[in-house]
Structure 1
Amino acid sequence: MDKEYLREVVKDQKLKISNLPLGYPRNKLSKLDSLLNHKINIVITGPRRAGKSTFLLQWMHKVYKDDFYYFDFSDDRVAGLRTEDLQTLYELFLELYGEKKAFFFDEIQGKYDWNKFVNRLYSEGYRFFITGSNAELLSKEISTYLTGRHYDITILPFSFKEFLGFNKINLDTVGTKNKTKIKSQLEVYLNNGGFPEVVTFGNKDILDNVYKDVINKDVILRYGIKEEEIFKKLSVFLISNFAKYFSYNSLAKTFGLGSVNTVSSYVSYLADAYIIFELPKYDYSFKKQDNSAKKIYCVDNGLINKIAFAFSENKGRLYENTVFVDLLSRGYGNNENLYYYKTKSNKEVDFVLFEGLKPKSLIQVCYDLTKAETKERELNALLEASEELKCNNLFIITGDYEETEEVGKKEIKYVPLWKWLLE
């Protein structure tokens, strides 16, 4: 690539981030603070437009001030950038800005043999901060080539706590007036979701563009999918069936794809782009666990309400999806520590949280407990699972019911969703 052309791109990008609003400080900034004195590379992943770049810029400006180089590899002007151009890029940084301490490479995954370049400069004392929107590609590239220690952070759309903070709702004291505001804001959050631009401007039409970019650029184009229309229908189907069971076999039949492997690949592409997530069933037998149906969840309720087939509102499923995504933001789901569970009598528990090899908590999600039979169903499933899994930390997340009840020797905590999300 022509050096002078690249020089103009570098200068344009520098100007762009210099004028970029740093936005609302994300909760995970404290994780980066704890790594300040460790010479490790930082890798930030997550869906498109969830705020990865802004999150990292918040911290870079706080810690490095202006003492870092920045380059956005998703810029269409550098689509033809080659591996050998990375050295030219480094030379331009030195010519334009002199010696700096760190590199911030935005959306670098899957494009170049960038890893050797990073390794070389890392060994010379530079620190690297990298973002990417594809979990599988970035993970493979890092594990295969990126030597030295690195720390991964996943940035999802705003949590409810961040959503309230952005909207200047005081969480220090939750009095009657404040509680009313919080519960009112929960309804907005359940409907609009937490993508930063949607929260900022209140326009859910932004989600159409987010979704189209992910499907067309991050999946169809990147993986060379030929059956585009079938893939798009499958994607909408999965989002529409959030918090429900699915199997690769049933999807293959529904969409006439023939090969279960094709369906499995399509689902994994969507998961790697952070649009959907699969939740496996927990079983003591790995074979049974692997063969069991999975449940599907979506990264954002706003995306569900915008993209999914029109469905009669099921607040219970939206509650369940919200709990799942919040568990992800708390660090569950990445290290075989989050499952659903079916008891021996086929009663379901929505979430089993593990700490190491032991179940830590069992969580049911039920919006409406006013009917006695509903409460009994949820409670019996929890108690039965508690006996089978030897776990006594039991929760039922509700619409508004709050209580601690003792059943036999077990204590059940009923917690309203809004309150649980603020823990």
Structure 2
Amino acid sequence: MIPRELYMKQIRPFIDQDVIKVLTGVRRSGKSVLLSLIQEELKSRGVSPSQFVRFNFESFSNEKFKTAASLYEELMDRISHTDQRVYFFFDEIQEVKDWEKCINSLRVDCDCDIYITGSNAKLLAGELATYLGGRYVEIRVMPFSFGEYMTAQKQKNSRLSLSESFQNYLVFGGMPFLTNLSGQADSSLQYLKDIYNSILLKDVIQRHNFRNTDQVERIIRYLVSNIGQPFSAASIAKYMKNEGRKISRESILEYLKACEEAFLIEKVPREDLVGKKLLTVNEKYYLTDHGFREALFGSNQRDIGQVLENIVCLELRRRGFEVHVGKAGDREVDFTASRSGRKLYIQVAYLLASPETIEREFAVLESIPDNYPKLVLSMDEIDFSRNGIIHKNIRDFLLEDVI
């Protein structure tokens, strides 16, 4: 198992505390492995594996426990013989009807510590918040960062250079299982297509009972092919109309929201850096894993600028930053990132290949009248830093505090 310290550091303070640990994230991003890593952590603290009770609700063997009542009855029967603290681990808990009632009852009725995973953002909405009254902590789990990808490569004694490893990551993304396929293109793409289709079918279409599946798929594919571009419901409706398909703005917003809840896409709002306010139009969307784009269109290398932008956006969110797209007058800053009073401005480019490109990327940052750090990230090996604006190679940025 790859030691995912980014997440374990967030989880450790809450082990054996009276809060439900909720791991959320896109399917196959490594939530189940994290449950195993937590179990290893507990064993290192002297907890016996006999104190663990684990259910994976994607397994048909647990089909009969997919109601709150049946699950609660089974669990209470299993722990009736022990007076030790019990550690419950529930994978894909959203498959259990009224699961939040069972989880809350366990917390109240027995000496236990509870960990759950789910692949939908609505896991923490409504009923759960009501039942638990704030007694939970959410840890958002994402596919491998480039740093984690390199850790996995080292663990498997990969002979690829740093540059070759980044090339693979750039194309296929960070879904953890892909490290087992050693860069085999056909197998990797098939795996990514299968995950994408599973998310689309189970977490978007079936969960929300969307009837016009072709319409949903077309809108998502349009979005995926244009990651990092400003979007509005009106612009998508116009595109669909040009395709000879009429659709309301309300339906578009409903589809996009469902994809966000399934952690397939990430919405990044726009921020006016002069007026210091959020803008409600022309947000940008990025993929939770850019490998899906390669699986659908095979164009990550061709559209490398968009993909690099996607990678940086997700890396900032992994590091706990709140991310916006900045608007400075009539110019745009790729990302403004805020965390604990700290702020960064970031421009992302493939190569600073001409004086015009250098001027474009640096000038917009130079126009911002504050002293927060400003970065330009690109694939260049030469340092183009100027006027207090730091230029970094994007690989170096992604591996900061990692290796």
Amino acid in structure 2 at the alignment position of 1:127: D
Measured in 2, the distance between the counterparts of 1:140 and 1:420 equals 38
Maintained 8 Å contact 2:55/2:62: no
Residue 283 of structure 1, aligned match among 254, 272, 275: 272
Tell me how far 1:33 sits from its aligned partner: 2.1
Aligned length in residues: 381
Rounded to whole Å, the distance in 2 between the matches of 1:222 and 1:403 is 49
In the aligned structure 1, how far is the partner of 2:376 from the partner of 2:138?
A: 31
Matches for 1:342-381 after TM superposition, within 5 Å: 342-344=327-329, 346-355=330-339, 360-381=343-364
**Contact 2:170 2:300 (8 Å CA) reproduced:** no
Q: After superposition, where does 1:4-403 map in structure 2 within 5 Å?
A: 23-27=1-5, 28-36=7-15, 38-63=17-42, 64-66=47-49, 67-79=51-63, 81-94=66-79, 100-109=85-94, 111-123=96-108, 124-147=110-133, 149-168=135-154, 181-201=161-181, 202=183, 203-204=187-188, 205-255=190-240, 256-283=245-272, 289-308=278-297, 313-332=302-321, 337-344=322-329, 346-355=330-339, 360-384=343-367, 386-387=368-369, 390-403=370-383
Q: Distance in 2 between matches of 1:155 and 1:213?
A: 18
* Distance change in 2, residues 1:31/1:83 (3 Å): closer
5+ unaligned residues in a row in structure 2: which ranges?
Answer: none
Letter of the structure 1 residue corresponding to residue 132 of structure 2:
L
1:153 is displaced (CA, Å) by 0.8
- Cα distance change on mapping 1:308 and 1:95 into 2, 3 Å: farther
Identity across aligned pairs (percent)?
29
Give, in whole Å, the separation in 2 of the partners of 1:393 and 1:140. Answer: 39
1:230 positional shift:
0.8
- CA spacing shift, 1:359–1:259, aligned 2, 3 Å: farther
Select between 237-246 and 105-114 the one with higher mean Cα deviation. Answer: 105-114
Taking a change above 3 Å as real, the CA distance of residues 98 and 112 of structure 1, as seen in their structure-2 partners, is farther
CA distance 1:295–1:248, shift in 2 (3 Å): same
| Distance in 2 separating the partners of 1:320 and 1:199 | 23
Question: Quick one: which amino acid aligns to residue 62 of structure 1?
Answer: E
SS at match of 1:243: coil
Paired residue type of 1:377: R
CA distance in 2, matches of 1:99, 1:65: 10
Report the 3-state secondary structure (helix = DSSP H, G, I; strand = E; otherwise coil) of the residue aligned with 1:167. helix
**Post-superposition offset of 1:83:** 2.6
Provide the rounded CA distance (Å) in 2 between the counterparts of 1:86 and 1:285.
54
In the superposition, relative to structure 1, how do residues 306 and 340 fare at CA in structure 2: closer, same or farther (>3 Å)? same
Residues 275-325 of structure 1: CA deviation (Å, up to 9, x unaligned):
111111013799973432011111112111111375770221111111011
Deviations 1:227-249 (A, max 9, x none): 00110111111111111111111
| RMSD value, Cα | 2.6
| Deviations, residues 166-214 of structure 1 (Å, cap 9, x unaligned) | 11189xxxxxxx9x92222111110111101112223311111101110
| Equivalent residues of 2:288, 2:314 under 8 A apart | yes
Which stretch of the first structure deviates more once superposed, 57-66 or 308-317?
308-317
Task: With the length of structure 1 as denominator, give the TM-score of the two structures.
Answer: 0.83
Distance 1:54 1:169, change over 3 A: closer
Tell me the amino acid that sits aligned with residue 399 of structure 2: L
Q: What is the CA–CA distance in structure 1 between the aligned matches of 2:103 and 2:177, rounded to whole Å? A: 32
